[in-house]
Amino acid sequence: MGDADKGHQGHREELQRNVGKQDTKLLKGAALLGAAAILSKLLGTLQKIPLQNVAGDTAFGIYNAVYPLYILILFAATAGFPVAVSKFVAERAIDGDHQGARRIVHVSTAILMGTGFVVFVLLYFGASEIASWIGISQTERAIRSVSFALLLSPMLAVLRGYFQGYQNMVPTAVSQVIEQFIRVITMVALLLYMAALAYDEEWIAAGATFGSVTGAAAGLIVMYVYWRKAMRLERDRDKDRNWQGPNEGRRKEGVMPPKELSSWGWAKRITAYAIPVCLGAIVVPLLTLVDTFTMPRLLEAAQGSEGEAMRQFGLYNRGLPLVQLVVMIASSMSAVLVPALAEAKARRQDELIRSRAEMAIRLSWLIGLGASFGLAFAAVPINVMLYKSNEASWTMAVLAFTALFSTLNAVSASVLQGAGAIRTPVKALLVAIVLKALGNVVLMPRWGIDGAALSAVIAYAAAAGLNLVQLRRCTGARFALRPYAVSPALGVGLMGGCLAALQLLAMPAAAAWHVPERLSASAIALVGVVGGAAVYALALLRSGSISCEELRLMPELDRKLAPVLAKLWPAKASAAPRDNG
């Protein structure tokens, strides 16, 4: 081999090592960002429980009416910009144009700060009108309170996009966790302070929503600290480059400075890229917002009182944090699904795509099914444990089944994304929005909040069904009756029997021994959840609903769960063939 060939080979090896390092950095960053997102969602979900415990169902209802509106407006105003900023910053960074990357940040900040200020003015001064659209005047103060967050969140979104463009996910992850942590602390502190001074529910709900403002401020401070540090490092690099003369480093690599766009040109380019992403992002909060603009009016018409309508709305929302927790945990497999399916698609391994898609849907179905029936069977003790009374336990039990269909919807959407069909999930959610609105209008006059819970189940079931139909077309996946209905029925039946027996035996015993109701309900709920999950999981494993062969179609899940199966059934585990895809 000549010197030239050796030089070329060494260059290729160095290039492969650099690419490998970049891939590793990207995967670690994605994992860190995913963990931060799960932690922040967990904090955000659990914060609602102390609000209801201290302030009651009316304040809880006001908060749950206003917060989805804020999320929708925030997504509409900023959701696409972190993606757009990260894309264009990454392009400038590849060209070595770090000054151009900073310019993108400045232009994006100007756009979003202007948008945020306009939306803040509309929310703050239009709070009374928006409250009248909702149909509950008590939401006015909470709307004004949360509007201040829109002065801070835009800049936060831009800075997150900047660091993601450099594949540095640490600032975003840290700021997300700090933002949510400060938000929860603010909400709890104001909640206790206002309750101690006997503020009414309207003021307490406004204090709870103000946590979004302090959380955004804390997140922005964290991002600004990282920004200042990055700018100091950039100035040091600029000094080093100046020793070689302007653009010398890039000339050595054969890359010339990119053609500069005007600020107006960048503004148009960034906005054009961000708007479609924003439109896709607002579909999910729109589904939640349907309840804000339909349920209070329908409840007030039925109850004849604004205060009672808000109390009923609060009762309805008791079950939602539990459903969100189930969906969050089950959907965490999405981080594995998308790259695994994308890899199989790139290799044109159609059979592997089908197998992995079937396994993903099967697991999400089994997890969602067990969680839904478990929450429904244990609704009474869980309700008393978390919210101090068993009121609206039937509503919670009905709403529990949205965990099944929400999980199916989220996971099937991820599978479709990995398979390249990215429009179907958005269309499915739009159909769900229409069905939820119609369901509320038709069912609530007859069954109240139970009707709203049933319409939610129907809406999410429709969205999941549409996704599965398209998934079958895209991947050829098959969904046989036995593994989805017959086998899991045994697990659900055993779990339900155990939970029913536990409550029938433990509740009278606790009453006879004069154990406080909430304490006994907490013990029953915790034992029931752990015991019921164990019974359900063992029944699935024993019946063959989940096998080592199927787990090995998903390598990441195989590494985590297959060792457990190997200990329980060594013969089956050793005989199972490995997936080499």
Question: To 5 degrees, how large is the angle CA 269–CA 167–CA 85?
Answer: 15
Look at residue 333 in the predicted model and tell me its pLDDT.
55
Q: What residues have CB less than 8 Å from 59, skipping those under 6 apart? A: 51, 52, 201, 202, 204, 205, 208, 314
Q: Is the dihedral of CA 421, 422, 424, 425 positive or negative?
A: positive
Look at residue 251 in the predicted model and tell me its pLDDT.
41
Task: Report the first-to-last Cα separation within the chain, whole angstroms.
Answer: 35
Positions of the chain with pLDDT lower than 70, given as ranges: 1-38, 40-41, 45, 77, 79-80, 237-261, 276-281, 284, 330-346, 418, 546-581
Gap between the Cα atoms of 310 and 297, Å rounded: 10
CB atoms within 10 A of CB 484: 16
Inter-residue contact 162 to 98 (CB < 8 Å):
no
Inter-residue contact 405 to 464 (CB < 8 Å):
yes
If phi > 0 it is left, if psi is from -120 to 50 it is alpha, else beta; for residue 516 that is: beta
**Crossing angle for the helix pair 98-125 and 153-165, nearest 10 degrees?**
160
Confidence (pTM)? 0.77
Look at residue 254 in the predicted model and tell me its pLDDT.
42
CB atoms within 10 A of CB 396: 28
What backbone phi and psi angles, to 5 degrees, belong to 315? Answer: -60, -40
Q: Please name which of 473, 467, 482 lies closest in space to residue 543, comparing C-alpha atoms.
A: 482
Gap between the Cα atoms of 356 and 415, Å rounded: 9
Look at residue 319 in the predicted model and tell me its pLDDT.
87
Joined together, the tokens standing for residue 576 give: 């199972």
Q: What residues have CB less than 8 Å from 147, skipping those under 6 apart? A: 119, 120, 123, 124, 127
Look at residue 524 in the predicted model and tell me its pLDDT.
93
Tokens 């101090």 correspond to 388
Inter-residue contact 367 to 533 (CB < 8 Å):
no
**Crossing angle for the helix pair 140-147 and 211-244, nearest 10 degrees?**
10
Residue 390 burial by Cβ neighbours in a 10 Å radius (0-12, 13-18, 19+) = middle
Gap between the Cα atoms of 111 and 271, Å rounded: 9
